[in-house]
Amino acid sequence: MKILVVNAGSSSLKFSVFEGLELTLISNGIVDKIGKPGGRITVKVYKGTKFGKHIEIGNAVDHHHAFIKIVKQLKDQYIRVIQDVSEIIAIGHRVVHGGEYYRDPQRITKELIKQVKKMKSIAPLHNPKNLTCIEICKRMFPKALQVAVFDTSFHQTMPPRAFRYAIPDRFYKKDGIRVYGMHGTSHKYVAEAAAAYLGKPLSETNLITVHLGNGCSMAAIQNGICIDTSMGMSPMPGLIMGTRSGDIDPSIIFYLYRNSRLKIDEIESMLNNESGLQGLTGMNDLRDILSSMEKGDEDATLAMEMYTYRIKKYIGAFMAVIGRTDAIVFTAGVGENSWFVRSRAVEGLEHLGVSLDDDKNKSHEKGILMLQADESKVKILRVPTNEELEIARSTIEVLNKMQ
C-alpha cells in the first residue's frame, strides 16, 4: 500500500511517497522554478538498491507538465518507486483555501472541487495550481482515493473576535469575508511535535508558531488550538514575505488606483508578486539578501530590519493574547535555517522572558533544537516542519473512515 502526497506551491511542486500504515517515507522530491528558466526535478529515494538522489535538469512549463515529469521519474526503470499506478491507493493534496466549508480533511468530490473553485479569487497563486494537480491525478490514478487537506482547517478554531473584520455584517454573512489563515498543516505539525518534545499534552500547551519560508505566517496556539493567526482572508496580510507585502494600509490600494492609474488587477499582482523582500531589494531569496547585507547594501539591511521587526511585533501581540507562553517555535525554510532571522526576531524581548542562546542558535545539528538561554522563561525551539507527513496522516484518516 502506497500513499502519494502532492503539495503544489505557486511555482513549485513537492511530492512524497509513503508505504504502509506506518507511513514509511520511500521517496520525495520537488520540481522547482515551474514556468521559469533554470528549473529541475529532484527525486530522493530512501529504500532498496536505488537509494540516493536523482536530478533531472529541465524546465516544467506548468504544474501539469511538472506532475507528468514526477510520475515519469517515479516509474523510471532505474528508480522504480512504483511499477504501476495501481500501487497508489490514495493521494493526499494540499489545498490552500477551503473557506468556512471544511474543518477536516475531505474526500475529493465534484462538490468539493466546486467549493475550492469559489476560493480561487482569494488564493490566486495556489488554489488554481491545487485544482490542476487534483484533475491530473484523477486521470493518471483513476482508482486512487483523492483527499484534500486544507491549509485553512487548523485555523477554524479561532473565535469570532479574532476572525471577523470590522466591516458591515452583510459582507461576512453573504460573502464570507473573514480571517481564514494559511499554512495550517505546518502549524499543526510543529505544534504537535513541539508539545511532544516538551513532554506536555498538546491540550495543555501554549505556543507561538512562526512559519518562515517564501510565504510567512504565525499562529497563536492556546491549549493546543489556534486562536489567532497573522494571515487573513488571503495569504497576503501579516508578515513581510518573499514577494507579498504583508500588512499595509488599505487606503494605499485606493491611492494607487486613483493617483497612479493602476488597474485593480495590476495592484493585486504587484502586492502578491512584486512586493515584500522582492520589492524592497529586487531579490526574494533570503540567502542573497543576507549576502548583500553583509557587503553593506543599505536596501538589504533595511529589508531585514523590517522583516524581523514585523515578526517581533506579532510575537509580542500573540504573547499578550495567549498569556503563559510555553515556547516560540520557528519552522520552514527560513525559520529552520537562518540563525540571523531567529536572533533578530526575539532580540530585545528579555523583558517578556524571552532570551536566546547565541551558540545554540547557530548550531547545525539536525532535528528539534532548544535555542533559549538558561535564564529564559519561554522556550525557543527550532522544529523542522513536515507538511507532507501531516497530509499523509490526514489521508489515512479519511481512508480509514471509508472502510
DSSP 296-359: T-HHHHHHHHHHHHHHHHHHHHHHHHH-S--EEEEEHHHHHH-HHHHHHHHTT-GGGT--B-HH
* Contact status, residue 336 vs residue 390, Cβ threshold 8 Å: no
DSSP 238-253: SS--SS---S--THHH
| 3-state class (DSSP) for residue 199 | coil
Q: Which secondary-structure segment (H or E) carries 237?
A: none
C-alpha 236/C-alpha 228 separation (Å) is 16
Catalytic residue among 32, 62, 84, 151: 151
- Active-site residue flag, 151: yes
Scored b (16 or more CB within 10 A) or e, 241-260 reads bbbbbbeeeeeebeebeeee
Residue 16 forms beta bridges with which residues? 5, 28
CA angle in degrees (0–180, nearest 5) for 121-126-131: 90
* Contact status, residue 187 vs residue 226, Cβ threshold 8 Å: yes
Backbone angles phi, psi at 9, to 5 degrees: -100, -175
Active-site amino acid positions? 151
